[in-house]
Amino acid sequence: MQHGVAFAGRIEQTAWWESVLGWLLPLAFFVALYSFAMRRMAKGGGGPLSFGKSRVKIYDRTQNERITFEDVAGVDEAEDELREVVDFLMHPDKYQALGARIPKGVLLVGPPGTGKTLLAKAVAGEAGVPFFSISASEFVEMFVGVGAARMRDLFEQAKQRSPCIVFIDELDAIGKSRGGLGAMGTHDEREQTLNQLLVEMDGFDPGKGVVIMAATNRPEVLDQALVRAGRFDRQVLVDRPDLRGRREILRVHARGVDLAPVVDLEVIARRTPGMVGADLANIVNEAALAAARRGGGTVETQDFEEAIDRVQLGLKRRGRVMNEEEKRRVAFHEAGHALVALSVQHADPVHRVSIIPRSIGALGITLQLPTDERYLMTREELCDRICVMLGGRVAEELVCGGLSTGAQNDLERVTELARQMVCRFGMSEALGPQTFGQSLSARFLQTSVPLGEERNYSEQTAQRIDAELQAMLGAEQARARQILTERRAVLEAIGARLLAEETLDQDDLAAVVAGAVA
């Protein structure tokens, strides 16, 4: 027993030393690593005017080469919206005197390569103000606590140099929604950086002439807190360019190269549907390289052919370009939506039809704008809406034969809508005025997390609901088919015109329909 006690004491002592060393050594190691890394970062900071403390890239575009709206093309709507920001940066006092609400945060949203970063730089260049830029993905790689501190520094410096622009690229890297189920209780670096950004945005006075801009190609993952009033409340869509836009972008990039007079940029624009500004810049560059390889004095059409093939091959590998057959399918799919919308009684007017993948994800798009703000919708209106959504798939089937995967999103939406009509709005004759199922959701940190539906009806009723959904969707599909079969000539005319022009607005569409009918 004595033995045992003495023995135990010895173990305790070694254990104490061991444990102290056990955490002291790694700690010392990390402190050393940290200070080493910080020193490295301080030395290697980017940008001609970067400060030792924050290593934010600052480009004073008044001194360096200036990027202006002249260098950006094909995104006219975004440009128009940003002109206001330029005006504010140039005359902040004018806005202050009027007491006008000044934009604080502007979020540029659009697919990669459409020119978001370029536009932000152009705003700074037009206004002749300094441009503080940092990519949010850089924050994520930092050591704990550094991201938030750096965000604070960024704004500190910006305030001293106002008027100026603070640009946060790839905002989604830190701005991802917090408080999802998986993220409960985690308080990681990203979140601290995001919180610091929110604090900074709330804390400063927009009258001081600092405009915060940010860019993202994944707006859907952003934390709602970021897009609330007083933060990034102004969102500017930077979309894929259409035919005309592509021609203009090519023109901008062709300024620097020696084009042969025969080269027609219009033709090249027609050959590059779906491509974004970055792809087109790439094509012009590849064409110049091809000309140089050939030893030619100017860039010829054949060089562009080679360049397009090259760039397209790369994009195809990443699955981003449509071939001719796919393009035809998309054209008739969208023509189907448009024609059904024009034919049924209650559909919203068609504002624009396009086969260029505009918003992120969808292939073509048929944009209908409601004529006025709606609070209530009747059963007939909802049925018409379903009919329009099914029109795309039906048209594909009629004209191209067979079915494709392109209508998936339409199908999801009609199924959801039909289910709501039956289960929520009691719009089914067969099932009567009753709701079925109770939606469950939980609240975590101001966001409501849907947890699915609780079924409060019998298996038999479930079968009747399914049967009713099938009947409803079947009837609407038949109606869409009837409309499109009767007006087949018009459908073909719209599809053909879409293939040629890619985008039709309301007036173009009316003209095509009138032409086909006459």
Q: Catalytic site residues?
A: 334
Q: Which two tokens stand for residue 311?
A: 């760039």
Asked if residues 483 and 344 have their Cβ atoms less than 8 Å apart, the reply is: yes
Residue window 65-104: x/- pattern of binding to Mg ion, with contact defined by CB under 5 A: ----------------------------------------
Query: Do residues 404 and 329 make contact, with C-beta atoms less than 8 angstroms apart?
Result: yes
- Letters for 251-290 (x = contact with ligand ADP by CB under 6 A, - = none) are -x------------------------xx--x---------
Residue ranges in 179-218 that form contacts with ligand ADP under rule CB under 6 A: 215
Q: Does residue 510 belong to the site contacting ligand ADP (CB under 6 A)?
A: no
Q: Is 397 in the site for Zn ion (CB under 5 A)?
A: no
Q: Quick one: which segment of 162-170, 172-180, 315-323, 408-416 binds Zn ion (CB under 5 A)?
A: 408-416
DSSP 8-state secondary structure symbol assigned to residue 101: P
How far apart CA 163 and CA 362 sit, in angstroms, is 39
57-60 vs 350-354, strand pairing mode:
unpaired
Q: Does 133 bind Mg ion (CB under 5 A)?
A: no
Smallest distance, Zn ion to C-beta of residue 221, A: 24
CA atoms within 13 A on the CB side of 332: 22
DSSP-assigned letters across all residues of 163-214: SEEEEEESTHHHHBPP--STTTT---HHHHHHHHHHHHHHHS-GGGSEEEEE
- Tell me whether residue 73 or residue 299 sits nearer to ligand ADP (CB atom): 73
C-alpha distances in Å from residue 495, one per residue of 58, 152, 254, 331, 482: 49, 54, 32, 5, 18
The Cα–Cα gap between 248 and 269 comes to 9
Q: How many residues bind ligand ADP (CB under 6 A)?
A: 17
Judged by CB, which is closer to ligand ADP: 88, or 167?
A: 167
Which residues in the 386-425 window bind ligand ADP by CB under 6 A?
A: none
Size of the site for Mg ion (CB under 5 A): 1
Distance (Å, whole) CA 193 – CA 105: 17
If 0-12 CB within 10 Å is exposed, 13-18 middle and 19+ buried, where does residue 71 land?
A: middle
State yes or no: residue 75 binds ligand ADP (CB under 6 A): yes
In this chain, which of 26, 112, 180, 230 binds ligand ADP, going by CB under 6 A? 112
Of 110, 82, 417, nearest to 241 by C-alpha is 110
8 Å CB contact between 341 and 400:
no
CA–CA distance, 232 with 174 (Å, rounded to integer): 14
Residue with structure tokens 């002749």? 128
Residue 278 binding: pick among Mg ion, ligand ADP, Zn ion, none (C-beta 5-8 Å cut-off by kind):
ligand ADP
Buried b (16+ CB within 10 A) or exposed e, 324-357: eeebbbbbbbbbbbbbbbbbbeebbebebbbbbb
Place of tokens 């360019």: 241
Instruction: Assess 330 for contact with ligand ADP (CB under 6 A).
Output: no
Residue 116 lies near ligand ADP (rule: CB under 6 A): yes
CB of 267 or CB of 369, closer to Zn ion: 369
Q: Choose one: 112-120, 187-195, 220-228, 341-349; the region binding Mg ion (CB under 5 A).
A: 112-120
* Closest approach of ligand ADP to the CB of residue 190, in Å: 21
* Candidates 53-61, 106-114, 459-467, 472-480; binding stretch for ligand ADP (CB under 6 A): 106-114
CB 113, min distance to ligand ADP, A:
5
Closest CA to 135 of 214, 75, 74: 214
Contact of residue 252 among Zn ion, ligand ADP, Mg ion, none (CB under 5-8 Å per partner type): ligand ADP
Q: Do 274 and 326 form a contact (C-beta atoms < 8 A)? A: no
Looking up tokens 């536009």, which residue turns up?
119
Nearer to ligand ADP, 135 or 195 (CB): 135
Three-state secondary structure of 379-406: HHHHHHHHHHHHHHHHHHHHHCCCCCHH
Q: Which does 72 bind (CB under 5 to 8 A by kind): Zn ion, ligand ADP, Mg ion, none?
A: ligand ADP
Residue with Cβ nearer Mg ion (166 or 263): 166
- Shortest Å, Cβ 122 to ligand ADP: 9
Of 166 and 493, nearer to ligand ADP (C-beta) is 166
Q: How far is the CB of 503 from ligand ADP (least distance, A)?
A: 16
Smaller CB separation from ligand ADP, 175 or 392: 175
Out of 254, 392, 418, 480, the residue judged to bind Zn ion by CB under 5 A: 392
Q: 277 or 495, CB closer to Mg ion? A: 277
Give 164's strand partners: 210
Q: Which residues bind Zn ion (CB under 5 A)?
A: 392, 410
Q: Which residues bind ligand ADP (CB under 6 A)?
A: 72-75, 112-118, 215, 249, 252, 277-278, 281
The site for Mg ion (CB under 5 A) is made up of 117
